[in-house]
Structure 1
Amino acid sequence: MPVTAAAGLVGTGGSAWAVGREEVVAALRTTADGNYDGSDLWLRYMPVSDPGLLRKYRESVTTVIVENADRNKVYRHSTNLSMAPGSTERLVETTLAAARDELVRGLGGLLDQAVPVKTSPGDRIPDGAVIVGTRDSSSAVRQYTSADDLAPVGDDGYLIRSFSRGTQRFTVIAGNTEAGALYGTFAFLRRLQTHKPITRLDISESPRVKNRHLNNWETVRLYAGNNASGTGGLSGENGTIFNFAATGASAGRNLPVILDRYIVVARAMASVGINGITINLVNADNVYLTAQYIAQEAALADALRPYGIKIALSINYTAPTDPRFAPDTLTNEQLDPHGDEFRGWWNRRARMLRDSIPDFTGFTVKANSEGQPGPQDFGDDHGDGANAIAAAVAPLGMKIYWRTFVYNADVDEDRLKRAYLEFGYIDDERRPDGTRGRFLDNVFLQTKNGPLDFQAREPVHPMFGRMENTNQALELQVTQEYTGQDEMLCYLAPMWEEVLKTDTYATDERGRLLGKRLMGHIVDGTAQRHSDTAIVGVANLGNADNVTGHHFSQANLFAFGRQSWDWTLDSADIAADWVRMTWSNREHVVGTIVKMMMGSWEALVSYQTPLGIAHQFRSSDHYGPNPAERLARDDWSPVYYNKADSVGLGYDRSPTGSDFTAQYFPTLEARYGNIGTVPENLLMWFHHVSWDHRMRSGRIFWDELVYRYQMGVQYVTWMRLTWDSLQPSLDARRFSEVKAKLAIHEADAGDWRDTCVNYWKEFSGRDNPVDDGPLSIKIVVNGRTIGGFDLSASSYTIPVAAGASPKITKVKPADRAARYEILSQADDVPGQAIVRVTKEDFFGPIVKNYVFIMEHDTVL
């Protein structure tokens, strides 16, 4: 049960707002017991466990001062807005009230005592005061923070500064806007949550990207529903985060009723700087444009608005033809993007939304992709369609996010080439004034990080940097469609860091390399001077207790927000903060869990799609493997991507193949196009690799490929064993739930390894390599050296001569860096011995438990 400000009392002048200690302690006791469900995400605010640090924090924070917290009430359309009966969260009417309440909640929990809140500094600022506000709202902020100080941080940024005046020591958290002050509040609380210093602070932060949004995909790819399978809802709900049309027992919990989880998610989003959410699936249902749904959307917007979050909708291009909008409907013949009828319809519908939601941000459009209608169905192109709707909503200050996830097979045989071929020429088109680029200024092309479809590792999409004259939004997938869904522990921040810090080698119009050209520079606008910038995360927030379906999936939502705010952050530092805020500040716990997280993505790549093989998922759910699958559509089929034959494996996209590499800037074009220079982790994205190709390790490709599959599973084994060791340090429910997930994870990783390797064997004609793997060993039993162990096997039969000892007398690792431990010996024959071999490899520790079955040798 979260600690809320609802128990406090607000006075006037300098009187205090306080939460009763008994209520604080009772709430914390509830979250501290073994049945905690993860519902607070990373905003749990457990008491600081280090007595010395707790004493210092209590000395440094004695009072909170928020002036005029209730003055600037945010717009509220819904007169009947209310929390559901029995809620522990509460609605606020201003952003500064949200900041104030978060400090009451957070400090009350972290300091294990109530901290009074004053509405005025009075004649003398108290020692240990924390002052929050803007120069407009707060006399204290005006006194200690100048306009020049705040100017560099912009609308969303903040300052956190420590001041010392004689015996007075206090902290000022200031923004140019109330949203900035709120972001600063969360940043300050994060320091306490992670046991960082809160004195002598001089912090100035602002986001590198302006629009930091989520796309919520409702029930499609939903892995966070509260039913047993994690893909749907109980009690009449559909499993997603927001209730629009729940039935049965949940019918009374539909919007405009606000549920606790809406406010928890709003607080969590604000805590990492996410400032927008498109609330429905990109395969859009037109119901979201009806009057009934707009009224519900307005209520949701009202609840989210104090947290700096604005909403948007996904739309269907042909929505004007839907009879639900009669008499205001159009015919197909009237869907001319250059005509007044089409533009007028979208303007009218956008005005309906604006009348209820004045800060409504705009529309996301998936067009001419996977059965969704679009302008090409009527002889127009993406520029025509995007500009038509953009022109209709531009007078209302709205934007259009037009997804570039298109792959019309008629465009090119290679699916990866199609998006740029459909959009690039529009960006290059010359305008009447001599400038280039036909897309309007309020259009964003929303492009996935890679050219295929959210695979665990892809090369960066060649459109980034190539679309110099068009606003581009980077689309990342937070929900783990291809990265383990709600079963596998896969921390995605290292992947996003790799993407954002990849050098595009972008050049100017004269072919000269840009000074700032990393993917992050393209996205944040500094590379090519784009002033409006965006990052979008595809999320599937659900109604499961922990909101994300897997406790560790919360880390991906946290990391997305932090990296959207500042893409230069280190993913390991983000992981450490999340672990401290979510699990524990005990150093051994933090270090262990961070290590698990940091290797988890690379391990998943290894047991699913190593060395650049792509999209080997079964079509039914995109979770398990099926490399042999052939579908009605060629480019949905795993065989289309693996091209397995007797020669080798992989898709040739070099100049001698599809020449996809030509879409990159010259440096990457040359690097990716040459099998000798392409990064090996992207090898099969660009080349058909022969089974005997010599790898940089010295091994042939076949051997390296099999060992990579095995290493991925061996890392998951290490994670499972390591998690078990943490049981004394973690709360019971979450520990057991993650333990159960890791058991599934290990089994399913093994299935990936065996299914894929066995299928490749049919083409390579080779057995699994032995004796040269990172964890390969030979053993000595009764003077005989025995090896040849396939690392994919679960156990091995060892023949022992009659009367001979079954004891293992020596273990010989193939890799000098590997370590072994004999966990058990066979006392007799038949019997069993277990040897555990470990090694720290390039993405983390790997473990193999050799189970040896000692049996009588009938031959000897």
Structure 2
Amino acid sequence: MPVTAATGLVAGTGAAAGTVGKEAVAAALRTTADSEYDGSDLWLRYVPVEDPGLLRKYRETVTTVIVENAGRNKVHRHTPDLSMAPGSTERLVETTLEAARDELVRGLKGLLDRAVPVTTEPGDRPPDGAVIVGTRDSSKVVRQHIPAGDLTPLGDAGYLIRSFTRGTQGFTVIAGNTETGALYGTFAFLRRLQTHKTITRLDISESPRIRNRHLNNWETVRLYAGNNASGTGGLNGENGTIFNFAARGESAGRNLPVILDRYIVVARAMASVGINGITINLVNADNVYLTPRYIAQEAALADALRPYGIKIALAINYTAPTDPRFAPDTLTNEQLDPHGEDFRGWWNRRAGLLRAAIPDFTGFTVKANSEGQPGPQDFGDDHGDGANAIAAAVAPLGMKIYWRTFVYNAEVDEDRLKRAYLEFGYIDDERQSDGTRGRFLDNVFLQTKNGPLDFQAREPIHPMFGRMENTNQALELQVTQEYTGQDEMLCYLGPMWEEALKTDTYATDERGRLLGKRLMGHIVDGTAQGHADTAIIGVANLGNADNLTGHHFAQANLFAFGRQSWDWTLDSADIAADWVRMTWSNRTNVVGTIVKMMMGSWEALVSYQTPFGMAHQFRSSDHYGPNPAERLARDDWSPVYYNRADSAGLGYDRSPTGSDFTAQYFPTLAARYGDIDTVPENLLMWFHHVPWDRRMRSGRIFWDDLVYRYQMGVQYVTWMRLTWEALRPSIDARRFAEVRAKLAIHEADAGDWRDTCVTYWKSFSGRDDPVDDGPLSIAIVVGGRRIGAFDLSAPSYSIPVRRGASPKITKVIPADRAARYEILSQADGVPGQAVVRVTKEDFFGPLVKDYVFVMRPT
């Protein structure tokens, strides 16, 4: 609505009319802005509270912001002329309390639809409606009202939010032991307003369960959030990644050390969910990031991120010391002895250069002897030798080494899934001279994917979790959706990570007794086996697209990673609900609908891509579409290696009579996974070659259940598309249209997965597609004849109608009594078309099938 139109609606005179006019103009401006909103604020948009009663309560409870000594503890800044790019809307801050203060000012102004005054002086007693933020060191109010003993257990990152009531009024204190903790508490307080929760009578104490909560930024690899049409690259001289180091052409002036708005937005978003570190470059590392010019750029980035509690790290190449770019400080291959002073000294010197520019630099991530990357095994050493050498070199500087365990040397074992534990397990078990076990140094983390293969949509947990009792382990999750729909498919990953983190490892102690705390989350957070230093890593999904993640719903995966990293016990549905409220709307119908879409989206993707434990059936060119018949130069890159399709059945036998991969798990899981009768059906083909005619728990044979599951996945996507269409009145125009377009692609590509895979399996099973027993199967009656046997994968069906008979459908008979149907249209004649919509709520959500019947004369 144009502002002039809004102004023209206001009649009358006087102050009241003027106020109404201002509000109408503001509302019109918001409507216009909403229609063009691009998602660039992620979940930190801070739209006004719509509910008048709630808005009034919030305004009564929050009347002023008090941040004492906000500018006192300036963070380190290495870059003297650090500045934002011309035209920026974000700004640089010099302290963490300034970041907290600014976020409160921004958030409250947006949410309360009016500015909230800020002061640095609370007076003798805080005024009613004050929100006070600080530490016991920075704030007199915190010292007066928050005992040290209440804060001590919260550590460096925890926070406390407490209401203090005086009669009908009062004030709120947000406090931490550190300014970073206070910042986290600030975001938590704002999140309560964003999600329309109460902000009175609060007594909240939180601290993260996992100490190091980091992102790995893979730059242009697995980047699905670039600002070009495909999402995989950049425009205007940028390469599509979130940070500019070497942009060209018209973007050359936007390279670091210049700070862009999106860097600050990402820093704020990371801090809002407690992410406290980022490795800024690809694990297939380019040594250029260790050169002086790049270190200067990295220091500028670290300067901008530091007030938000975020520290940076680098991925490195094991043989970097041989790179001539470092001359005269270069080594020969003969000097790469991990036990020698040359190798260790080189890494100490290079780390020292980084530490001089970035005092809180956290360390290095290493991908070694994996997928062509060099490592210690190239020189006759093992992973323990290599990791410890670099770790010992950087330990005096307080740095850590994150050594990735994604290795699968074919000479180790025929079964790719067994190889990582075989390469690392013996090092963890090795007895040391002091009688302890485990050779890896204390500042080494083994960074291990959640499953034993490669970020597939569903995998069993990696057997190394719990088995590496004497070594620090970092869990690695993939936020960017390499195998889960990339930037095209709506797939919320929170439930997948929740399933993994809450899986029972059945870990035992040295005497074989089950541990009291033994879920994978307990292993990761250190409570299972007494690890004091803990870590979780997410492969980031950030790029330079307007919405920063490529797909609007991909933002939810970054949000969920942060929330689950902070507290892995959280419910993924609750996380989704918060994100929807912060991102789309607080209207009950919108929240409930979108959360339902999200919560079934992962299970749907598993169903139309890799149901019942099938794995890695992606075409090699882009890891997006299906190619189950593909055979590559390496067996373990080939879909056929994993599906093992033959006339007898489908799946990889990893039971005790097969590769015996199951033996790497603790005994209870080994027995469960190793027996085809006890393995969970959603992991069936990970561990067994399943006969086509095996009777499943549904009562159907495996072939029938398999085909129906593919179909169900597509039918859920159809429901999502139709459901999103119904939300049009509640969603702003640009984002609605962009998600709508993605869902159309999603549905078509899900259908391609179903059709490609089922057709290929059919060539081995020798069976036709099952009919008449699917969740959405129906028969119809036309002209007095019952007609059925409809392949649920078909787009339409030809129905013969006898001459003179009515083409009307007179009866619809669902195979499943829980299914419902609606005749959307009838044929007026022959030829003609009728459409019947069948719906059913199934185990992962609603399914929809539109039967298009083409009536033709016999």
For Structure 1 versus Structure 2, the TM-score category normalised by the shorter chain is: over 0.9
Counterpart position of 1:739: 740
**1:30: how far off?**
7.9
- Opposite residue 43 of structure 2, the aligned amino acid is W
- Opposite residue 171 of structure 2, the aligned amino acid is F
- Opposite residue 190 of structure 1, the aligned amino acid is R
Counterpart position of 1:17: none
- Opposite residue 227 of structure 1, the aligned amino acid is N
Matched residue of 2:760: which SS?
A: helix
Counterpart position of 1:688: 689
**1:609: how far off?**
0.1
Counterpart position of 1:200: 201
Q: Distance in 1 between matches of 2:311 and 2:742?
A: 34
1:506 aligns with 2:496: no
- Opposite residue 495 of structure 1, the aligned amino acid is M
1:669 aligns with 2:670: yes
Contact 2:85 2:258 in 1 (8 A): yes
Deviations 1:670-707 (A, max 9, x none): 00000000000000000000000000000000000000
Q: Distance in 1 between matches of 2:748 and 2:382?
A: 47
Contact 1:212 1:275 in 2 (8 A): yes
Q: Distance in 2 between matches of 1:61 and 1:31?
A: 28
Counterpart position of 1:6: none
Counterpart position of 1:419: 420
Distance 1:30 1:321, change over 3 A: farther
Contact 1:28 1:109 in 2 (8 A): no
- Opposite residue 251 of structure 1, the aligned amino acid is A
Q: Distance in 2 between matches of 1:110 and 1:297?
A: 35
Q: Distance in 2 between matches of 1:611 and 1:141?
A: 55
Matches within 5 A, 1:333-412: 333-412=334-413
Q: Distance in 2 between matches of 1:300 and 1:846?
A: 47
1:317 aligns with 2:308: no
Q: Distance in 2 between matches of 1:459 and 1:120?
A: 55
Counterpart position of 2:601: 600
Matched residue of 1:850: which SS?
A: strand
- Opposite residue 855 of structure 2, the aligned amino acid is M
Using structure 1 for the length normalisation, give the TM-score: 0.97
Matches within 5 A, 1:73-222: 73-166=74-167, 168-222=169-223
Deviations 1:461-487 (A, max 9, x none): 000000000000000000000000000
Deviations 1:42-86 (A, max 9, x none): 000000000000000000000000000000000000001000000
Contact 1:826 1:854 in 2 (8 A): yes
**1:33: how far off?**
2.5
Counterpart position of 1:34: 35
Q: Distance in 2 between matches of 1:513 and 1:690?
A: 34
- Opposite residue 146 of structure 1, the aligned amino acid is P
Deviations 1:245-304 (A, max 9, x none): 000000000000000000000000000000000000000000000000000000000000
Deviations 1:496-530 (A, max 9, x none): 00000000000000000000000000000000000
Counterpart position of 2:294: 293
Contact 2:541 2:558 in 1 (8 A): no
**1:540: how far off?**
3.1
Counterpart position of 2:590: 589
- Opposite residue 427 of structure 2, the aligned amino acid is I
Matched residue of 1:351: which SS?
A: helix
Counterpart position of 2:756: 755
**1:165: how far off?**
3.0
**1:759: how far off?**
0.2
Counterpart position of 1:475: 476
The 4+ residue runs of structure 1 with deviation greater than 4 A are 24-28
Q: Distance in 2 between matches of 1:674 and 1:166?
A: 65
Matched residue of 1:337: which SS?
A: coil
Deviations 1:807-827 (A, max 9, x none): 000000000000000000001
Counterpart position of 2:638: 637
Distance 1:408 1:853, change over 3 A: same
**1:28: how far off?**
7.4
Contact 1:456 1:601 in 2 (8 A): yes
**1:430: how far off?**
0.5
- Opposite residue 270 of structure 1, the aligned amino acid is A
Q: Distance in 2 between matches of 1:55 and 1:301?
A: 40
**1:166: how far off?**
4.4
1:845 aligns with 2:846: yes
Counterpart position of 1:13: none
Computed over aligned residues only, the root mean square deviation of the Cα atoms, in angstroms, reads 1.1
Q: Distance in 1 between matches of 2:542 and 2:390?
A: 28
Counterpart position of 1:775: 776
Contact 1:427 1:468 in 2 (8 A): yes
Counterpart position of 2:8: none
More displaced stretch, 428-437 vs 31-40: 31-40
**1:29: how far off?**
2.8
Q: Distance in 2 between matches of 1:417 and 1:442?
A: 26
Using structure 2 for the length normalisation, give the TM-score: 0.97
Matched residue of 1:34: which SS?
A: helix
Distance 1:27 1:138, change over 3 A: farther
- Opposite residue 509 of structure 2, the aligned amino acid is D
- Opposite residue 423 of structure 1, the aligned amino acid is F
Contact 2:772 2:815 in 1 (8 A): yes
- Opposite residue 370 of structure 2, the aligned amino acid is S
Contact 1:610 1:708 in 2 (8 A): yes
Deviations 1:315-373 (A, max 9, x none): 00000000000000000000000000000000000000000000000000000000000
- Opposite residue 289 of structure 1, the aligned amino acid is L
Contact 2:780 2:809 in 1 (8 A): yes
- Opposite residue 723 of structure 2, the aligned amino acid is T
Q: Distance in 1 between matches of 2:28 and 2:820?
A: 47
**1:32: how far off?**
3.9
Counterpart position of 1:10: none
Distance 1:31 1:500, change over 3 A: farther
Counterpart position of 1:14: none
- Opposite residue 172 of structure 1, the aligned amino acid is V
Contact 1:127 1:167 in 2 (8 A): no
Contact 1:486 1:549 in 2 (8 A): yes
Q: Distance in 1 between matches of 2:31 and 2:362?
A: 39
Counterpart position of 1:448: 449
Contact 1:775 1:837 in 2 (8 A): yes
Matched residue of 2:94: which SS?
A: coil
1:570 aligns with 2:571: yes
Contact 2:61 2:169 in 1 (8 A): no
Matched residue of 2:36: which SS?
A: coil
**1:122: how far off?**
1.1
Structure 2 unaligned blocks of 5 or more? 1-21
**1:390: how far off?**
0.1
Counterpart position of 1:7: none
Contact 1:125 1:168 in 2 (8 A): no
Counterpart position of 1:614: 615
Q: Distance in 1 between matches of 2:432 and 2:847?
A: 57
Counterpart position of 1:71: 72
Q: Distance in 2 between matches of 1:35 and 1:66?
A: 35
Matched residue of 1:417: which SS?
A: helix
Q: Distance in 1 between matches of 2:110 and 2:628?
A: 51
Matched residue of 1:33: which SS?
A: helix
Counterpart position of 2:305: 304
Counterpart position of 2:53: 52
Counterpart position of 1:8: none
Q: Distance in 2 between matches of 1:218 and 1:733?
A: 27
Q: Distance in 1 between matches of 2:105 and 2:54?
A: 19
**1:782: how far off?**
1.0
**1:164: how far off?**
1.2
Q: Distance in 2 between matches of 1:434 and 1:62?
A: 62
Contact 2:196 2:586 in 1 (8 A): yes
Q: Distance in 2 between matches of 1:194 and 1:685?
A: 40
Contact 1:28 1:46 in 2 (8 A): no
Q: Distance in 2 between matches of 1:192 and 1:349?
A: 46
**1:120: how far off?**
1.1
Counterpart position of 2:706: 705
- Opposite residue 757 of structure 1, the aligned amino acid is V
